[in-house]
Amino acid sequence: MSDHFEPVIVGFLCNWCSYRAADLAGTARIKYAPNLRPIRVMCSGRVDPQFVLQALRSGADGVLIAGCHPGECHYVNGNIKALRRFTLLRKTLEQWGIEQERVQLLWASASEGTVLAAAVNRMTEELRALGPLRWGEKVLGDNGAAHLVVEEV
């Protein structure tokens, strides 16, 4: 493993809980790994599996999907839908030999800045251990054939 590998994590944070959690972490000056690159979505239920695949293809080493706790979803149960998609997606990714740690789902309420920060730290550690994703070698093989399949997902 390259000694100074810093993973890049894309975070899809829901507007009502986890994005605010990240805001709170900042406001409370909680220092955590700068490896997360947050993208705001209204609800974790908006996270299209294609976003995740695109993120991994575009060079992210991991993706963190964060939403409100079950039962606290601003949109009743979008987070549960996210959970369902996540479970399926993870299985698919495993088929391609992509480690579980690379795509994670987190519940963090607006008051849980520490939870979010801790999760980012933990995930960063896990990905440092795993090393770069190397999507090309893993999924694409030499010709981009497999790639097209991915596009269809």
Partner 1 sequence: MTDQKKSPAEQEKVGVYICHCGSNIAGTINVEEVAQWAEKNPNVVVARNYEFMCSSTGQELIENDIKEKGLTRIVVASCSPHMHEKTFREATERGGLNPFLFEMANIREHGSWATNDKEAATSKAKALVNGAVERVVHHAPLEKIPVDINPNTLIVGGGIAGITAALELAEGGHHVYLVEREGTIGGRMAQIDKTFPTLDCSACILTPKMVDVGQNDNITLLTYSEVESVEGYIGNFNITVRKKARCVTEELCTSCGICEEKCPQKVIDENYGAGISYRKAIYRSFPQAVPGYPVLDKENCTYFQTGKCKVCEQVCPTEAIDYEQEDKVITFDVGNIILATGYDLFDARQIPQYGYGRLANVFSSLEFERMVNASGPTAGHIVLRDGVTEPESIAIVHCVGSRDQNHNEYCSKVCCMYSLKFAHLVHEHLPDAEVYNFYIDMRTPGKGYEEFYHRLLNEGTHFIRGRVAEITDADRHPGEEGKLIVQAENTLLGIQQRTPVDMVILSAGIEARHDAEDVSKLFKMGCDHDGFFNERHPKLAPVSTMTDGVFIAGACQGPKDIPDTVAQGGAAASQVAKLISQGTVLMEPVRASIREEECSGCRICNTLCPYNAIEFDEEKFVSRVITALCQGCGTCVAACPSGVIDGAHFTYTQVMAELKGVLWDVQSDVLTKQEVA
Binding residues vs partner 1 (CB under 8 A): 8, 10, 16-17, 19-20, 22-27, 29-34, 36-43, 45-51, 54-55, 57-60, 68-69, 71-72, 74-78, 81, 85, 109-111, 117, 135-136, 140, 144, 147
Least distance in angstroms from the C-beta of 84 to partner 1: 10
- Strands across the sheet with 9-14, in order? 36-41, 9-14, 62-67, 103-107
State whether the Cα torsion 85-37-121-114 is positive or negative. Answer: negative
What is the CA 6 to chain-centroid distance, rounded?
16
Return the CA Rg of the chain. 15
- The residue among 126 and 147 lying less far from partner 1, judged by its C-beta, is 147
Least distance in angstroms from the C-beta of 56 to partner 1: 10
Least distance in angstroms from the C-beta of 100 to partner 1: 21
- Name the strand (E) or helix (H) holding 120: helix 113-130
Least distance in angstroms from the C-beta of 67 to partner 1: 11
- The residue among 51 and 96 lying less far from partner 1, judged by its C-beta, is 51
- The residue among 19 and 119 lying less far from partner 1, judged by its C-beta, is 19
Asked if 30 contacts 112 with a C-beta cutoff of 8 angstroms, the reply is no
